[in-house]
Amino acid sequence: MEEKIDHFKHKSKTYSKDSKRVQNVQTIAKGIMDKINYSKQMHIMDFGSGTGLLSIHIAPHVQKITAVDNSPSMNETLHQNKDMIKCDLDIIEADLEVASLEQNFDGIISSMTLHHIKDIENIFHKFYTLLEKDGTLAIADLYTEDGSFHSDNAGVHHFGFEEEFLLQCAKKAGFEDISCQEVSVAKKPHKEFSIFLLTARK
């Protein structure tokens, strides 16, 4: 059996302490809320939830968040910080590339996770099947970069994405009202990296 590697084991304790990272995700969250109306009846999935940096901002606007992440160490840190998530919270340890979930969601949110996913077409299909009718998708990640965003590219399957490719994947999966634009800029000492937000509706 293939051994599972926790690529975030060495990062999980300090992940939320990087102020530039926190700021980037906060800007992404604002961009998501500018485009999508959430309500206190909604159950949302945060895909690749990590330590909960995105969920923190969406939580006050929804009933429940199911945080899905395959990293035991990131999930443990989220569990320790769970009081910061101001809605009902479920944490599911699962690799969404292979796992199937026995529930549907009113919305899916995700930040900075898509580049860790091998098969992008497949994950868009999965998002589609996991959503209720009229459910919303909001995915933010890197536009195409030169490979210097991460100091170590272990677990990185894509050096960002071309907008056209993402639009095609969303369309092929069956989504409607698809749009994509820059939502934030991630600042690193050596360079700035442009971040997109793709939104769509089932």
Q: Write out the residues near ligand SAM by the rule CB under 6 A.
A: 8, 25, 48-50, 53-54, 68-71, 74, 95-97, 111-113, 116-117
Q: Shortest gap between Cβ of 70 and ligand SAM (angstroms)?
A: 4
Q: Shortest gap between Cβ of 139 and ligand SAM (angstroms)?
A: 10
Q: Shortest gap between Cβ of 18 and ligand SAM (angstroms)?
A: 10
SS3 per residue for the chain: CCCCCCCCCCCCCCHHHCHHHHHHHHHHHHHHHHHCCCCCCCEEEEECCCCCCCHHHHHHHCCEEEEEECCHHHHHHHHHCHHHCCCEEEEEECCCCCCCCCCCEEEEEEECCHHHCCCHHHHHHHHHHHEEEEEEEEEEEEECCCCCCCCCCCCCCCCCECHHHHHHHHHHHCCEEEEEEEEEEEEECCEEEEEEEEEEEC
Closest to ligand SAM by CB, 59 vs 96, is 96
Closest to ligand SAM by CB, 116 vs 201, is 116
Closest to ligand SAM by CB, 152 vs 164, is 152
Q: Shortest gap between Cβ of 102 and ligand SAM (angstroms)?
A: 16
Q: Shortest gap between Cβ of 35 and ligand SAM (angstroms)?
A: 17
Closest to ligand SAM by CB, 112 vs 198, is 112
- Which residue lies nearest ligand SAM, judged by its C-beta? 50
Closest to ligand SAM by CB, 142 vs 180, is 142
